[in-house]
Structures are given as C-alpha cells and as structure tokens.
Amino acid sequence: MKRLPSCWWLLATSLVATIAGLFEPRVACAATTVFFDASQSTNLVSSGVTSDTIASEGYLFTYTRDKLFTGGVGLTNPIGRTVRIPWPQGLEAQAVTAGPNPSGARMSISRQDGLTFAIESFTFKLLANTAGAGAALEIMPLLNGEDGLPNPVMLDATGYYGMNFSYNTPALTGFDAYKITLYVDFAVLSLTVVDASLPPPSLDILQLDASTVELSWPTNAVGFNLVSTTSLPATLWDPVTNNAVVNGDFFTVQVTLDLSRRFFRLQK
C-alpha cells in the first residue's frame, strides 16, 4: 500500500493500480477542532516547577500550576493546589503564589508542527473573584517568537468565582502561538481552533486482486466525498456510488477496474 497525502486527488490506472500524483495546485483544507471532550486524549510533554505542557489533537498547551503551595503559614512541604477543572472538562491555569517567581495564571497554545492557526472562539471560567478590582484576560498572539500585535487583545474578565465568559476572536488569526494571562486562576472550558495548514486527508489504494482495488480515507475527513473521472484534465468528476464501509478509523470502498484508466480524488 502506498499513501499520497492529498485533499483532492489520487490516480489509479487499469489493472495494475499504480499511483501517481497529478501536478495540479494544492487546495488548502481548513480543519476545525473544538476542545474539550472525552474522546480527546492528552500526552504529558513536560512538567516544570510551576507549569505543565500537554499535547492533544496536534496542539500543545502549556499552563501554570501552583505546585509550590504549602497549604498555609508555617507549613514548608509543598503540596500544590487542587485542580478544580480537570481534563476533559476544560483546562485550568493557576496563579503561582509560592516560590521564587510568583505570577498570574498563564496559558499558551501552539501547534506541534509549529504552523499557524486561528482561535475562532472560546469560553473561560473565573476561578476567583475579580469584581472589586476589575480584570481583563490578555491574549498576545506570537509569530516566529515575536509579538504579533502592538498590544494584547483585552477581554473583560470582571466578575465572581464561577462566572463564564464567551468570546468570538476574529483578531486571533494567522499566528503560530497565543499567550493567555490573567492575574487570578481561570479555566478554558471550550476552545475552537482552525488550522488552514493541516495536512489534508490521504486517499489510500490497495490492490486486492487482478481486477479489484480498495480505496480508503480517514473517517474524520468530514465533508469529503470520493469521486472519479476517466481522463484529465477534467471539469466533471462523478461520485463513486460503491458502498463505503467503516473499518476502524477509515472508510473503505472496493472498486472493480476494467482496462480503462480511472482517476480518483476526495472532494468537498
């Protein structure tokens, strides 16, 4: 089996079912990911003195934890503060109250491949009271390690413990990392990210016998359909109506080939 990453095309020729890329412009395929739910697993990437970094769905999350907290006056053994919003309910960032470098609560989001993405919208919960002094959640986008805007995006966070705030954030587009800060604890409960640079779904081909091939593509390629044509260039691609079967994480379709050439691609 040979895999060609392409959102649009794959070529199968007659009985030998060879595969070749068509030298046509690639089409960007935006992928939307909505955090958080139980199907999204996490991997611990690193654990620092007052922070952790996890990976999930191709994204990296670094967030502060008050690990050096001792629990009160006179106690010297760090026990850390309890996490109130565990994954997958959300992701909690704590203000660092103990140790040599106290700070507000911080969270940074980036992609594992370092490519750009957008934060389309998100919801966060206050885990402390800010009504007296007032507060703003600050988000600074980064590009190649440099600040992406002259000033951070400021979002009102004035309220009481347990209040939720939801925002659409069209300004947070086209950057490769986002740093989020607040002077008190908070937790992100929902986060919608859009990545236009994700690899498009791959269409695989496997020759089953002398006249049959099996085409397969990931079930998470939402909105894509298998189409074919007999010649290139083509202005019309016909839907492949053969029954698609779910096999694990893939759709599979078996196609009988004759002596003519057929070209297949995934198309939205």
How do residues 56-83 score in pLDDT, each as one tens digit? Answer: 999 999 999 999 999 988 888 999 999 9
CATH code of 207's domain: 2.60.40
Domains identified in the chain, total number: 2
Last residue of a domain, one of 160, 195, 230: 195
Task: From 63, 69, 88, select the one nearest 185 (Cα to Cα).
Answer: 63
Indicate the pLDDT class of residue 26, thresholds 50, 70 and 90: very low
**What is the predicted pLDDT for the residue at 13?**
39
**What is the predicted pLDDT for the residue at 241?**
92
What per-residue string of b and e applies to 237-250 under the rule 16 or more CB within 10 Å gives b? beebeeebeeeeeb
Overall average pLDDT of the 152-170 stretch: 98
Question: Residues 123, 230: one domain?
Answer: no
Last residue of a domain, one of 161, 180, 195: 195
Indicate the pLDDT class of residue 258, thresholds 50, 70 and 90: confident
Indicate the pLDDT class of residue 236, thresholds 50, 70 and 90: confident
- Which of 13-22, 47-56, 86-95, 120-129 shows the lowest per-residue confidence on average (mean pLDDT)? 13-22
Task: Using the predicted structure, report yes or no on whether residue 42 has a pLDDT greater than 70.
Answer: yes
Full domain range(s) for residue 41: 31-195
Last residue of a domain, one of 135, 170, 195: 195
Question: Whole-angstrom Cα distance, residue 214 to residue 219?
Answer: 15
What is the pairing mode between strands 51-56 and 43-47?
antiparallel
Overall average pLDDT of the 86-105 stretch: 96
CA dihedral 127, 128, 130, 132 (to 10 degrees): 150
CATH code of 51's domain: 2.60.120
Question: Whole-angstrom Cα distance, residue 23 to residue 18?
Answer: 16
Question: Residues 204, 155: one domain?
Answer: no
Tokens 């893939």, located at residue: 250
Question: Residues 37, 158: one domain?
Answer: yes
Question: Residues 242, 261: one domain?
Answer: yes
Task: From 37, 7, 12, 51, select the one nearest 229 (Cα to Cα).
Answer: 12
CA dihedral 172, 174, 176, 182 (to 10 degrees): -10
Question: Residues 262, 241: one domain?
Answer: yes
User: Considering just the CA atoms, what is the radius of gyration of the chain in Å?
Assistant: 24
Question: Residues 163, 93: one domain?
Answer: yes
**What is the predicted pLDDT for the residue at 223?**
75
**What is the predicted pLDDT for the residue at 20?**
31
**What is the predicted pLDDT for the residue at 22?**
32
Task: Using the predicted structure, report yes or no on whether residue 87 has a pLDDT greater than 80.
Answer: yes
Question: Residues 240, 221: one domain?
Answer: yes
Question: Residues 58, 159: one domain?
Answer: yes
Question: Residues 100, 159: one domain?
Answer: yes
Question: Residues 169, 252: one domain?
Answer: no
What is the pairing mode between strands 118-126 and 164-168?
antiparallel
Tokens 């994204």, located at residue: 59
Question: Residues 51, 149: one domain?
Answer: yes
Are 62 and 51 a contacting pair, CB within 8 Å? yes
> pLDDT tens digits, residue range 173-225?
999 999 999 999 999 999 999 987 556 678 898 989 888 889 999 988 777 88
Question: Residues 133, 229: one domain?
Answer: no
CA 53 to centroid of chain Cα atoms:
15
